[in-house]
C-alpha cells in the first residue's frame, strides 16, 4: 500500500515527492531568496567590496546572481515538470 502524496508519510523515493510542495511555497521561496540575495549583495558592496577591485566585485555579484538563478530555476522547473505529459 502506498501513501498519498499529501498524507505527510511520503518518502524521498516516492514518485510524487516534491521538495517545495505547493506553488505558494515556491513563490515564498522565490521572494525570500531574491530579498536575501539583494540584502547580501548590498552588505557585500557596503562592507567587503573595498578589498576587491571593481572587476572582482562585479564577478562576485554575477556569480551570486547565477547561483540564485540556478536555485529558482530548479524550484520552478520541478513544478513545471509535473504538467508535462508522457
Give per-residue pLDDT as tens, 3-43. 555 555 545 555 555 565 688 889 999 999 999 999 999 99
Please name which of 27, 60, 23 lies closest in space to residue 41, comparing C-alpha atoms: 60
CA distance 5 to 46: 45
pLDDT of 33: 96
pLDDT at 50 over 60: yes
CA distance 5 to 49: 46
Residue 8 lies in a domain: no
Reduce the DSSP state of residue 9 to 3 states and report it. coil
Range of the domain at 61: 23-83
- Helix ranges (H only) for the chain are 23-43, 54-80
User: Against a cut of 0.85, is the pTM above it?
Assistant: no
pLDDT at 63 over 80: yes
What does residue 84 show for φ and ψ, rounded to 5 degrees? -80, 130
pLDDT of 6: 56
Residue 74 lies in a domain: yes
Higher pLDDT, 30 or 86: 30
Residue 71 lies in a domain: yes
Give the pLDDT band (50/70/90) at residue 66. very high
Residue 17 lies in a domain: no
Residue 5 lies in a domain: no
Amino acid at each position: 500500500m502506498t501513501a498519498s502524496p499529501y498524507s505527510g508519510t511520503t518518502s524521498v523515493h516516492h514518485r510524487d515527492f516534491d521538495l517545495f510542495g505547493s506553488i505558494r511555497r515556491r513563490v515564498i521561496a522565490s521572494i525570500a531568496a531574491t530579498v536575501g540575495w539583494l540584502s547580501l549583495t548590498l552588505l557585500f558592496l557596503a562592507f567587503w567590496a573595498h578589498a576587491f577591485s571593481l572587476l572582482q566585485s562585479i564577478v562576485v555579484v554575477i556569480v551570486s546572481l547565477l547561483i540564485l538563478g540556478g536555485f529558482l530555476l530548479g524550484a520552478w522547473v520541478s513544478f513545471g515538470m509535473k504538467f508535462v505529459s508522457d
